[in-house]
Amino acid sequence: MRKQELIIKKAMLEIEKMLHEMGKDGKDLTLLKLKKYQKTHHIDCMCAKCMKANKKKNPGLRGLREFGFKVYVDEHDEEIIE
């Protein structure tokens, strides 16, 4: 569990650094959005996970190549933030 806590702490430090840089660049952080994403293996991949996904016809089972989140400031968002 200690390793998991260390990973989370490092990720939080990177997020904090990124947000400070965005603030310095003049971005309005009240309109900040975070979005999770996952990139899977290519549709033609033949690894075990992708073969299983094809067999079960469930693309959610494909092998993950990359996962993380995107951060952006939506300047057209009309949501009121208090």
> Beta strand 32-40 with 64-73: parallel, antiparallel or unpaired?
antiparallel
For residues 82 and 80, what is the distance between their CA atoms, to the nearest angstrom? 6
Average model confidence (pLDDT) for the chain? 80
| Structural domain boundaries enclosing 53 | 2-73
Q: Which of 5-9, 32-36, 51-55, 59-63 has the lowest mean pLDDT?
A: 32-36
pTM for the structure as a whole:
0.50
Residue 79 lies in a domain: no
Strands (E), 1-82: 32-40, 64-73
Q: How much is the pLDDT for 82?
A: 38
pLDDT digits (tens, 9 = 90+) for 55-68: 999 888 888 887 77
Residue 69 lies in a domain: yes
Question: Which residues touch 70 (CB under 8 Å, ≥6 apart)?
Answer: 34, 35, 37
Residue 82 lies in a domain: no
Residue 80 lies in a domain: no
Residue 46 lies in a domain: yes
Indicate the pLDDT class of residue 81, thresholds 50, 70 and 90.
Answer: very low
Total domains present in the chain: 1
